[in-house]
């Protein structure tokens, strides 16, 4: 007999089906709750709400496990390339060589931006925040690829739209960086590989070549950011996509959700915090005290996570990569020492221990981006490049799920009861 949970309401007992995931995690299926009882559930921030069944990413926050399509993140970071991981997330399996070639060829066919898009990019002020620019330009792509606007895209069009976004988001990002610095844009050479092509477009100088190890380091960072199941931006993508909005509107919304400093924007906020600590003479203890003070809105950026309550496996890999890359580039960044000191202090502090607050993926990534020459206000756009395959995979899975419905949560209304209208002159 299938497992059920019993709920007693108004003296009546109802059985709710229990759903078991492939890693034995349990959920109570409340889909019929309101229809049968009139009750809804209240779960602000959706901390206990499963919004879908998904076969893309598994994470166990207590044990610090993260797997894409079953493969441990540590193994993927060690042995694969970002494009293989993108294929894996989107199509479900690691690609064979010919499948990967075909996938990359599709991206290559989108290696040039429509002229209308470069015209739009040219109009932004040089000091515009790159996240706002990228989000608007991704939305603007809808005007140039009308064939991808249909709500029921064919398999072929879906694959092409995905390839187009993967190829062009990195070009848009690098194009705006160069334009905002008065540099001529440099064209994409996809045969260099995703990370190297991006760095080449960003920092191209005659006679200079992007170092393979540096490109590899960026590739690993992109892999670590590629998906993270139903986080804020992925859920935004699913919510927007659930209305059958087009893929550009959907991804643009994901970018906007990522921008916030409680989510992907934390990588920029971490670096700004470390700079602030440096300005204050390196006294990180004072910042720990501020973070613990409930009358102060300051939080230790790059610390804490809704799901990880032990450690973030991505942070472990990134911390190691940080040492290697700074060493390789011969960069001696005092911010790295401040970050390590801050981490150590926080990990030994009762406040952080009691609340299971650990460094997350954003704590060390900014120091690496800075060493690579990426400006602070572009850190979150780097996250966009990494997370794009995850969003696309989540969108695809949702649109192909026969059980998917438009996202439409309920609420508990706590406002005024009926009042009679009073005209303006009598108020």
Q: Is residue 359 a contact residue for ligand ACO (CB under 6 A)?
A: no
Q: Which of 256, 312, 349, 362 is catalytic?
A: 362
Exactly one of 357, 367, 368, 384 binds ligand ACO (CB under 6 A); which one? 357
Exactly one of 304, 313, 366, 389 binds ligand ACO (CB under 6 A); which one? 304
* 292, two tokens: 């613990």
Q: 271 and 377 in contact (C-beta within 8 Å)? A: no
Q: Is residue 153 a contact residue for ligand ACO (CB under 6 A)?
A: no
Residue 376 C-beta: closest distance to ligand ACO, Å: 15
Q: Is residue 390 a contact residue for ligand ACO (CB under 6 A)?
A: no
CA 183 to each of CA 135, 169, 418: distance values in angstroms, whole numbers, following the listed order: 22, 19, 61
Exactly one of 63, 150, 306, 320 binds ligand ACO (CB under 6 A); which one? 306
User: Could you give the CA distance from residue 414 to residue 15 in angstroms, rounded to a whole number?
Assistant: 29
Exactly one of 67, 81, 170, 305 binds ligand ACO (CB under 6 A); which one? 305
Residue 327 C-beta: closest distance to ligand ACO, Å: 26
Q: Is 326 exposed, middle or buried (0-12, 13-18, 19+ CB in 10 A)?
A: middle
Instruction: Report CA 423 to chain centroid distance, whole Å.
Output: 48
Exactly one of 66, 361, 368, 382 binds ligand ACO (CB under 6 A); which one? 361
Q: Which of 305, 312, 333, 349 is catalytic?
A: 305
204, 222, 174, 82: which is closest to 378 by C-alpha?
174
Residue 25 C-beta: closest distance to ligand ACO, Å: 18
* Residue 305 designated active-site: yes
Q: What residue ranges in 197-288 does DSSP mark as E strands?
A: none
332, 343, 347: which is closest to 301 by C-alpha?
343
User: Could you give the CA distance from residue 374 to residue 325 in angstroms, rounded to a whole number?
Assistant: 14
Q: 230 and 51 in contact (C-beta within 8 Å)? A: yes
Q: Is residue 223 a contact residue for ligand ACO (CB under 6 A)?
A: no
Max Cα distance, the chain (Å): 79
- Nearer to ligand ACO by Cβ, of 262 and 280: the residue is 262
* 328, two tokens: 């390789």
Q: Is residue 314 a contact residue for ligand ACO (CB under 6 A)?
A: no
Q: Is residue 391 a contact residue for ligand ACO (CB under 6 A)?
A: no
Q: Is residue 161 a contact residue for ligand ACO (CB under 6 A)?
A: no
* Residue 362 designated active-site: yes
Residue 283 C-beta: closest distance to ligand ACO, Å: 17
Residue 342 C-beta: closest distance to ligand ACO, Å: 11
Binding mask 253-292 for ligand ACO (x = CB under 6 A): ---------xxx-x------------------------x-
- Nearer to ligand ACO by Cβ, of 99 and 275: the residue is 275
User: Could you give the CA distance from residue 371 to residue 366 in angstroms, rounded to a whole number?
Assistant: 8
Count of residues in contact with ligand ACO, rule CB under 6 A:
20
User: Could you give the CA distance from residue 2 to residue 20 in angstroms, rounded to a whole number?
Assistant: 10
CA 224 to each of CA 86, 182, 189, 314: distance values in angstroms, whole numbers, following the listed order: 11, 32, 24, 6
Which residues are annotated as catalytic?
305, 362
Binding region for ligand ACO (CB under 6 A): 45, 231, 262-264, 266, 291, 299-306, 355, 357, 360-362
């Amino acid at each position: 007999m299938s497992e059920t949970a019993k709920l007693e309401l108004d003296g009546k007992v109802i059985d709710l089906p229990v759903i078991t995931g492939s890693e034995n995690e349990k959920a109570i299926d409340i889909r019929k709750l309101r229809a049968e009882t009139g009750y809804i559930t209240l779960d602000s921030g959706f901390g206990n709400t499963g919004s879908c069944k998904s076969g893309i990413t598994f994470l166990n926050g207590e044990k610090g496990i993260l797997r894409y399509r079953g493969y441990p993140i540590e193994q993927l970071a060690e042995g694969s390339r970002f494009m293989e991981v993108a294929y894996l997330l989107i199509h479900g399996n690691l690609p064979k060589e010919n499948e990967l070639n075909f996938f990359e060829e599709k991206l290559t066919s989108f290696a040039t931006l429509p002229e209308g898009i470069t015209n739009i990019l040219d109009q932004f002020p040089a000091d515009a925040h790159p996240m706002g620019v990228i989000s608007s330009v991704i939305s603007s792509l809808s005007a140039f690829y009308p064939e991808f606007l249909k709500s029921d895209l064919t398999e072929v069009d879906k694959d092409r739209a995905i390839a187009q976004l993967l190829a062009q988001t990195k070009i848009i990002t690098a194009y705006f960086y160069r334009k905002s610095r008065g540099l001529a844009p440099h064209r994409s050479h996809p045969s260099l590989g995703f990370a190297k092509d991006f760095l080449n477009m960003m920092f191209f100088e005659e006679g200079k070549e992007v170092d393979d190890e540096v490109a590899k380091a960026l590739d690993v960072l992109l892999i670590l950011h590629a998906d993270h199941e139903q986080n804020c931006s992925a859920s935004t993508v699913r919510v927007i996509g659930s209305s059958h909005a087009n893929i550009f509107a959907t991804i643009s919304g994901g970018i906007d959700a990522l921008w916030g400093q409680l989510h992907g924007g934390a990588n920029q906020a971490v670096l700004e915090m470390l700079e602030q600590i440096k300005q204050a003479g390196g006294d990180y203890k004072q910042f720990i005290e501020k973070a613990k003070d409930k009358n102060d809105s300051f939080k230790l950026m790059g610390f804490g996570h809704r799901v990880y309550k032990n450690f973030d496996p991505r942070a472990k890999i990134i911390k190691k990569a940080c040492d290697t890359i700074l060493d390789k580039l011969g960069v001696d960044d005092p911010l790295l020492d401040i970050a390590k000191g801050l981490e150590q202090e926080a990990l030994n502090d009762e406040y952080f221990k009691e609340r299971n607050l650990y460094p997350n993926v954003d704590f060390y990534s900014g120091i690496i981006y800075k060493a690579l020459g990426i400006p602070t206000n572009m850190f979150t756009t780097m996250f966009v490049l990494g997370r794009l395959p995850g969003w696309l995979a989540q969108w695809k899975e949702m649109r192909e799920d026969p059980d998917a419905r438009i996202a439409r949560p309920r609420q508990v209304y706590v406002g005024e009861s009926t009042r009679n209208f009073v005209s303006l002159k009598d108020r």
